């Protein structure tokens, strides 16, 4: 059985000093030989280097929350994929709903970022999910299929990628969706991917995660290691005990 993936998205929380403390607590809580899960921490840009030093001797990987869709140049305030690669990022979240909504990131930019991440051998964690109004209007399936297809337009060669289903309306709510609904969306994502790639590619190279108010109490209901193979965690990843609890719950299932 493949290891489940547990990604902590710290968003715009924790200063570098606070990040160091939280990362140290997480490292200290894991056995030195590692766990039967792939654990990834995604701090904010200024905290990446300090977290990379803390996790260096552990099996935890470093991820970014975003980067710019051009490789380099006059883009004041932006961060390039090459910079992330050089400081040790192996993963990056792409197209999080907070970026799509607040920063108006569009499907075309997300698609360019996915291609750049793959070119730099960084695992893209592509976020998709419907807003509450879209759900109410019966557009959920359409939105998800469109977001998956446009993020992966023209993407044909890759070793690995991740699609994370995060229903926008449950992010940070403290109450996740019904696990059966998450499973049915994961099935929809899988069928959408099968329209684009062979079964072998979809089954072996793409993982589907769930995100949205995941904690150590509800995580086991979401990850079945078949359709949903991990979680993308926001608020609970800022609390070392809860984050470690999530990892423990998933690894005790393996």
Q: Which residues bind to ligand 13P, rule: CB under 6 A?
A: 9, 96, 166, 171-172, 211-214, 232-236
Instruction: From 84, 36, 29, select the one nearest 55 (Cα to Cα).
Output: 29
Query: Rounded distance, CA 85 to CA 104, Å?
Result: 25
- CB of 22: closest distance to ligand 13P in angstroms? 15
Nearer to ligand 13P, 70 or 221 (CB): 221
Q: Is residue 9 a known part of a binding site?
A: yes
Nearer to ligand 13P, 84 or 171 (CB): 171
Query: Rounded distance, CA 207 to CA 227, Å?
Result: 8
45: left (phi over 0), alpha (psi -120 to 50) or beta: alpha
Catalytic residue among 38, 98, 134, 166: 166
98: left (phi over 0), alpha (psi -120 to 50) or beta: alpha
- Asked if 82 contacts 64 with a C-beta cutoff of 8 angstroms, the reply is no
Two tokens, residue 199: 């079964």
- CB of 57: closest distance to ligand 13P in angstroms? 26
Q: Is residue 169 a known part of a binding site?
A: no
96 is catalytic: yes
Q: Is residue 172 a known part of a binding site?
A: yes
- CB of 145: closest distance to ligand 13P in angstroms? 20
Two tokens, residue 190: 């899988």
Catalytic residue among 38, 96, 105, 134: 96
199 is catalytic: no
- CB of 199: closest distance to ligand 13P in angstroms? 28
Beta bridge partners, 61, equal 40
Q: Is residue 174 a known part of a binding site?
A: no
Q: Is residue 198 a known part of a binding site?
A: no
Residue nearest to ligand 13P (CB): 234
**Location of structure tokens 């995941």:** 214
| Tally of CB atoms within 10 A around 120 | 18
Alpha carbon distance, N-terminus to C-terminus of the chain: 7
- Asked if 117 contacts 81 with a C-beta cutoff of 8 angstroms, the reply is yes
Nearer to ligand 13P, 34 or 179 (CB): 179
Nearer to ligand 13P, 46 or 172 (CB): 172
Nearer to ligand 13P, 212 or 230 (CB): 212
- CB of 242: closest distance to ligand 13P in angstroms? 10
Beta bridge partners, 94, equal 126
Q: Which residues are catalytic?
A: 96, 166
- Known binding residues for substrate are 9-11, 172, 213, 234-235
């Amino acid at each position: 059985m493949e290891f489940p993936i547990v990604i902590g998205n710290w968003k715009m929380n924790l200063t570098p000093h606070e990040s160091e403390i939280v990362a140290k607590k997480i490292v200290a809580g894991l056995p030195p030989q590692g766990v039967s899960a792939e654990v990834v921490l995604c701090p904010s840009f200024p905290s990446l280097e300090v977290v990379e030093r803390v996790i260096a001797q552990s099996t935890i990987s470093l991820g970014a929350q975003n980067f710019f869709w051009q490789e380099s140049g006059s883009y004041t305030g932006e961060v390039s994929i090459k910079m992330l690669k050089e400081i040790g990022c192996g993963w990056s979240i792409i197209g999080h709903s907070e970026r799509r909504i607040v920063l108006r990131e569009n499907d075309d930019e997300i698609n360019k970022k996915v291609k750049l991440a793959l070119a730099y051998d960084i695992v893209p964690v592509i976020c998709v999910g419907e807003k509450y109004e879209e759900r109410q209007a019966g557009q959920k399936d359409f939105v998800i299929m469109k977001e998956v297809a446009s993020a992966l337009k023209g993407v044909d060669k890759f070793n690995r990628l991740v699609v994370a289903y995060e229903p926008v309306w449950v992010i940070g709510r403290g109450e996740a969706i019904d696990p059966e609904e998450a499973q049915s969306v994961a099935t929809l994502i899988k069928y959408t991917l099968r329209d684009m790639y062979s079964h072998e590619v979809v089954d072996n190279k793409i993982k589907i995660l769930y995100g949205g108010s995941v904690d150590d109490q509800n995580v086991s209901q979401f990850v079945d290691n078949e359709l949903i193979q991990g979680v993308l965690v926001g608020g609970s990843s800022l609390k070392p005990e809860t984050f470690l609890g999530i990892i423990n719950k998933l690894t005790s299932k393996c």
